[in-house]
Amino acid sequence: MVDPLTLGTSAGLGGFGVYLLNRYWKQRQARLRAQALLEKYSTRSQIGMHQGRMRLLVSMPQVGELPPAEREAWQERDERRDRNFLELGLLQEVPENNGDEDSTPSEDQRREELTSRAAWMEHHEPPLQQHAAVVSEEHIGSGVIVATEEDEEPEVNMDERLEREGGASGEVQISLAWDDYNDLDLHLFCPSGERIYFNNKKSECGGVLDVDMNVRPVSKTPVENVVWRQNAPLGTYKVGVHFYKHHRKRRTKRLCKFRLRVVTHGQSKEYLGSIKYGQAMQMVTSFSLADASHKS
């Protein structure tokens, strides 16, 4: 006669094995799908020699570049991300008023806002991590457009803003700028899987968030900056933008336009996009750095 405890243990282990096998299968299918999309839609360009090796930049497409069936599938995933954001309770209540837009917050007010964000993160870091994990599965950009010379806006001078705030440059640099007092946050998913953002400003692979603005609404010309000064790792980088907080000041709206610049080994590309307050974190773009000498 089989011991019921032994039988139960065996059944439990068998069920766990099935779960692991199913999880592996789904991850494998996701990797194969990403590879197929990469081969079908990505654009590749050699970006010259770096430390004696040729670097290859592989950029993933935006949703508008996909055929209708792929766009519909992306839209379904995006709607699930929006629901996930709200279900996890990540939407903050908008305060009644933050004062006149020309007023400068005092040091006490700035410290108060930092304390408030720390308290919010203490309770919401696990769900924010869950949401970020969902967003990181996306391989397609959210529909931003690549900026051209005709799209230049004189008031958005990325270099001036970075110089003003002490932002560094390097082998890989991702900068985000917008034009109101709202608080947008840059989230950089590293090749290692680590995420750089305001609560994790330094990654083990060398990336640093060295400019983080508008926790308190201090500027209507803010900028954020993530940089690898040197030794940027090979692999896939994913760039997310989160509308963290809507500061109610004059001329700040719940729809925020932004400009994103990606610099890789001296080559620059800029994107124009927008995000609504209450919307899921957006996967704006992704790119991969590879050693061209190892490519067929």
List of residues 6+ apart from 194 with CB closer than 8 A: 200, 203, 204, 205
What CA–CA distance (Å, rounded) separates 190 from 168?
A: 18
Q: 13-17, 159-163, 178-182, 278-282 — which is least confidently predicted?
A: 13-17
| Cβ–Cβ < 8 Å for 165, 223 | yes
Q: What whole-number percentage of the chain has pLDDT above 90? A: 52
Q: Is the pTM of this model over 0.85?
A: no
- Which residue from 138, 196, 176 is spatially nearest to 258, judged by alpha carbons? 176
Output the average pLDDT for the chain: 83
Give the C-alpha distances (Å, rounded to integers) separating 253 from 147, 163, 239. 23, 27, 23
The three-class DSSP label of residue 47 is strand
Instruction: Quote the pLDDT of residue 9.
Output: 60
Contacts with 238 (C-beta within 8 Å, 6 or more apart), sequence order: 136, 138, 188, 189, 283, 285, 286
> In which band, very low, low, confident or very high, does the pLDDT at 116 lie, cut at 50, 70 and 90?
confident
pLDDT at 58: 80
High-pLDDT (> 70) share of the chain, %: 73
Q: In this model, does residue 10 exceed pLDDT 80?
A: no
Average pLDDT estimate for 193-203? 95
Q: Which of 7-11, 99-103, 176-180 has the highest mean pLDDT?
A: 176-180
In sequence order, the β-bridge partners of residue 262 are 174, 269
Q: What pLDDT does 100 receive?
A: 54
